[in-house]
Chains A and B, each alone.
Chain A
Amino acid sequence: MAFHVYTEEQQDMIALAKQFGEQAVDPVIAEYDEKGEFPEEIVNTGLEMGLQSLDFPEEWGGAGLSTKTACVTFEELAKHDTGVACAFSVTGTAIAPIMKYGTDAQKAVVQKKIFEEGGLASFCLTEPGAGSDSGASRTTAVKDGDKYILNGNKIFITNGGYAKLFLVIAATDKSKGNKGLTAFLVEKGAKGFSVGKEENKCGFRSSNTVELVFDNVEVSEDAVVGGVGNGFKMAMYALDHGRPYIGAVAVGLGQRALEEAVKYVKERQQFGRPIADNQGVQWMLADMEMQIESARCLVYHVAELIDEGQPITVNGSIAKCMATDAAMKVCTDAVQLFGGYGYMKEYPVEKLFRDAKIFQIVEGTNQIQRMVVARSLLK
């Protein structure tokens, strides 16, 4: 097994995430997956621990850890359940631009609602007609005196049914495309703001994915995050911050699938010996390990770049894409190594396999990541 040197703080966080995973998540998560239900109680426990606050500054109520330490924590959480891990990681994605570009008053709202009271946040960009093409956003924000009136629908919003704060990207000037977008901080319970359809998903079923409806929602102009017309920039900052999180979650997921596969091939006997004795099986295991370990190195590198204040757009796309492709491949191979049993719900890899697919799609599809990388080469 490849090895890494972790600081004492990172070892502590891995141990804490493991304790949380083993005691709070593992015993009950299959039921939530089966029902497609959000494990509110488990997530609340994690919120009390502060799993949503990892790499945010202590002076605003965060835990003050590095992004790398946040990543090793998410990696461990994802070994237990990616849906639970992403409740926290997506909260981090949503609040990142506020903690970086927001006003002190906005940061104070995050401090109170997310860190002190222990709440989730949602990042609200996608719309029915604006997926990969976020500039096509139809949700509008029209200025009315010192207020904005929001109208439109967002879909596929993670945490949407449970979040206390929402970073909403809306068009303040439709004629300008991406440059006409503005980010708003919307609080749960705003008049005219409601949760619509909840999605029934293939995997990642413990994550809450909903539609959000904005029907003449009034927000103060103080709710603008990072300046009018900077919505696309805010969204990209959020996603850049989220890239290593998603990468780390994918690495944890792949690692879990590999561990399950290693255990199984040593136990399963065919032709009078453990299937692990076949070189064909061994090479699959080696490839799985190499893919996960390569992905892990890329993810850690991006996290370190963030900690050093370096730009990460290209590296972030490379890491997100490689890590999530690796997780999909490794989870598929894990099912293969389990044979028919791997396809059965009684065995753990079936869920991991279903969970893996989403990560090649969310927070920018892997084609979009490749587009970012290619553009950087050709410009």
Chain B
Amino acid sequence: MKMLVCVKQVPDTTEIKIDPVKNTLIREGVPSILNPFDSYALEAAARIKDKDPSSTITVICMGPEQAKAVLKESLAIAADKAYLISGREFGGSDTLCTSYILSEAIKEIEKTEGKFDIILCGKQAIDGDTAQVGPEIAEHLGYPQVTYGLEAFVEDGMVKVKKEVEDGAEIIGIQTPCVLTFTKPSFDPRFPTIRRKMAANKANIPVLAFTDLPDIDPEKIGLKHSPTHVKKTFVPQKKTGGIKIQEETAEESAKKLFTLLSEAHVI
């Protein structure tokens, strides 16, 4: 399998600070990490490669020069190749523009590396949290997609994805090429190995700039062409857990509900 994983560098905090004028993220002074959901996507790819060592894993990231850190981390864990997509022209892109740029970069990389069978993304980035980029990449490329993946494996030449649903999991078969997005599985992603880590530190990571993507439409990228406008950003209040009424019988449960509602002066 030829696999490509989209990884994003995110600030290591849930308390995001926003520039009150530009309404964009303030990233200075916040340590950056590999988006945890992307590490699950990378682990899923690594597990496919464990079974079939002829598989390859390419990682891409759009971001500034320092985002190379998450590409190096990915190389140390499991990836074979990495590309950074970086340039002023891409700055301020919303999810639609981001996914467009990423899909154009994927097509460009495919010119030298050949077609990818599986594009893997995290379910969402822990800073943006929109969970839009993965599905949008699938739309830009015209590929089928499975979201909320926990694990993926290849069986009888078909890609199968274990997908999280409300109270359990489904296994879905999907034809390649496809896009899969991943959420937190029950297992921990593997640690980097020391040999890979040392090699990754020395790795030369090619950068794809705006001019390296000759087919890209400049009218579809960057802050100016992003249809999304962030009006306000805030940390949502934690939902306090509701109560579960589960008495011996339905009748008793109804009685308890009635008492609670009347005590609260709702009825």
Closest A residue, CB atoms, query B72: A12
Q: How far is the CA of A252 from the CA of B146 in the complex (A)?
A: 46
B193 interfacial contact with A, CB 8 Å: yes
Number of A-B contacts defined by CB within 8 Å: 38
Contact B201 A16, beta carbon cutoff 8 Å: no
A63/B194 in contact, CB under 8 A: yes
Q: Which of A48-56, A190-198, A266-274 lies at the interface? A: A48-56
* Cross-interface CB contact of A9 among B191, B192, B201, cutoff 8 Å: B201
Q: Which residues from 198 to 221 on chain B have a C-beta closer than 8 Å to any C-beta of chain A?
A: 198, 201
8 Å CB interface, A1-50 against B: 8-9, 12-13, 16, 19-20, 23-24, 45, 48-50
CB within 8 A of B193: which of A13, A50, A64, A65?
Answer: A50
B188 at the interface (CB under 8 A from A): yes
> Could you tell me if A23 and B188 are in contact, using CB atoms closer than 8 angstroms?
yes
State whether B201 touches A8 (Cβ < 8 A): yes
Residues of A within 8 A of B188 (CB): 23
B192–A63 contact, CB under 8 A?
Answer: no
B190 touches A64 (CB 8 A): no
Q: How far is the CB of A298 from chain B (nearest CB, A)?
A: 26
Whole-angstrom distance between the Cβ of A364 and the nearest chain B Cβ: 28
Distance in Å from the Cβ of A138 to the closest Cβ of chain B?
39
A9 to B201, CA, bound (A): 9
Q: Are B193 and A48 in contact (CB under 8 A)?
A: yes
B229 contacts the other chain (Cβ, under 8 Å)? Answer: no
Could you tell me if B192 and A49 are in contact, using CB atoms closer than 8 angstroms? yes
Q: Is B2 an interface residue (CB 8 A)?
A: no
Q: How far is the CA of A16 from the CA of B197 in the complex (A)?
A: 9
State A63–B198 Cα separation when bound (angstroms): 8
B195: chain A residues within 8 A (beta carbon):
50, 53, 58, 63
A49 touches B194 (CB 8 A): yes
Bound complex: CA of A65 vs CA of B191, how far in Å? Answer: 18
Beta-carbon contact of A49 and B198 below 8 Å: no
Note all chain A residues with C-beta closer than 8 A to B194: 13, 16, 49-51, 53-54, 63, 65
* Chain B residues near A8 (CB-CB < 8 A): 201
Q: How far is the CA of A8 from the CA of B192 in the complex (A)?
A: 16
Residues of B within 8 A of A13 (CB): 194
Are the C-beta atoms of A64 and B198 separated by less than 8 Å? yes
Contacts A/B (CB < 8 Å), 16 sampled: A12-B201, A13-B194, A16-B194, A48-B190, A48-B193, A49-B191, A49-B192, A50-B193, A51-B194, A53-B194, A53-B195, A54-B194, A63-B194, A63-B195, A63-B198, A64-B198
Residues of B within 8 A of A (CB): 188, 190-195, 197-198, 201
Pairs of residues from A and B, 6 with the lowest C-beta to C-beta distance, nearest first? A50-B194, A63-B194, A49-B191, A50-B193, A49-B193, A63-B195
Given A16-B197, A53-B195, 19 further pairs, Cβ under 8 A = A8-B201, A9-B198, A12-B198, A20-B191, A23-B188, A24-B191, A48-B190, A48-B191, A49-B191, A49-B192, A49-B193, A49-B194, A50-B193, A50-B194, A50-B195, A54-B194, A63-B194, A63-B198, A65-B198
